[in-house]
Amino acid sequence: MTNSGGLPLSGIRVADFGQFIAIPSATQQFAEMGADVIKVEPPGGEISRNLGMFGESMLRGSNRGKRSIVLDLKHPRDVAVAERLIASSDVVCHNLRPGTMERLGFGVERVRGLNPGIINVSVTGYGPHGPSATRAGLDIAAQAESGLMSVTGEADGDPQRVGVAIVDQTTAYLVVQAVLAALLRRERTGLGDDIQIALLDTAIHMQTMNWMQQDVTGVPARRKGNGQPNMAMAAEVFKASDGHFVLSAYKQEHFARLCEVIGRPSMVHDEKYADARGRLINRRELLDIVGSAFSDRPVQECVKVLSEAGLVSAVIRAYENVLTAADVVDNETFVQATAVDGTSFSVPVPPARSSLFDPAVVGGRVPALGEHTAEILAELGLENAVAAGHE
């Protein structure tokens, strides 16, 4: 177990019954804050251990610095171990299919009976009510049914998923936020909590600005590709001679600076582009004018010139170029961690930099399946026991 006594969640124990991304990613953050995260796995391991390279990426991304215990929760002996583990924990988390924890005997009432002050967290696809309450739900389903895919992609193209498991990852951040708030309240009142988060709710909440725009304009959001539907020169993508870059210059003073940069200072007074409404109506023509000014120049030069003019501009990087970018390297955005087989790999550090985070803890080791079973049993006062799931 990592010595993390100086970290904010030192002394907090988290029983992690999670799989895939949403809960393991949340409990990974708890581990990085110093919590003792015990990964409870069935015989054979949680699903990620059996999905080849895709599963290995989930193990590396969301399971460093945890301790693994193997329990067969269909066996009375291991049910008793899980009961003792929950009774000794501050937080218990799961994202198993709806009804699974109840069938195993660990529904919220049972958990609360074992530990009245426990903070119980469940992540489901669609929430506890409604016709989809018992449906299995993954990130892609939430992207689809929340409307997110309908606003992603080119206007005349098919709906598209976002390029990362963005709903899972955002849900993980929401779990952390809710648990930290619950821990603070428990510190003050002694009360535990039952936290329920649905992937669908997360995906809908992420699009709050779109819902508000629909409310204000009366027009539902639709796919429009790059740029912003209600502004011109906002989040636009342009092609340089050797790559692509993004540019935002929708404020009046910023548009004036852009006109200077492209050598068309009088354009700011042209009635077609003189205000935000005109620029939106004539967006296509405006994009062609600005694009032609940069198409034969190297992308780094384009971004340099625009940035020096005080405009928001950035190179569109491929993953391999992100790893070697000066900002990423100089800010030590990646640290080294250790896989189950002992090999090292690079992993991003938490975005919040402070004395409350230790890079050495972030760069922890992925536990082998059941590696800490005997150790955890001993801590639970079961020194001579053998977990049924580890026989």
Q: Are 243 and 299 in contact (CB under 8 A)?
A: yes
pLDDT digits (tens, 9 = 90+) for 227-259: 887 788 999 999 999 999 999 999 999 999 999
Q: Give me 8's structure tokens.
A: 């904010």
Residue 1 pLDDT grade (very low, low, confident, very high; cuts 50, 70, 90):
very low
pLDDT digits (tens, 9 = 90+) for 28-50: 999 999 999 999 999 999 999 99
Q: Are 117 and 192 in contact (CB under 8 A)?
A: yes
H or E element that contains 379: helix 373-379
pLDDT at 98: 92
Residue 5 pLDDT grade (very low, low, confident, very high; cuts 50, 70, 90):
low
Active-site positions read 168
Strands ordered across the beta sheet of 119-124: 67-70, 36-41, 13-16, 91-94, 119-124, 193-198
Q: Which CA distances in Å does 208 have to 124, 165, 251?
A: 21, 19, 23
205-222 average pLDDT score: 94
The span from the CA of 79 to the CA of 89, in Å, is: 15
pLDDT digits (tens, 9 = 90+) for 357-380: 788 888 999 999 999 999 999 999
Look at residues 148, 146, 196, 154 and name the one whose alpha carbon lies nearest to residue 171: 196
Q: Is residue 274 predicted with pLDDT exceeding 50? A: yes
Q: Give me 32's structure tokens.
A: 């990085």
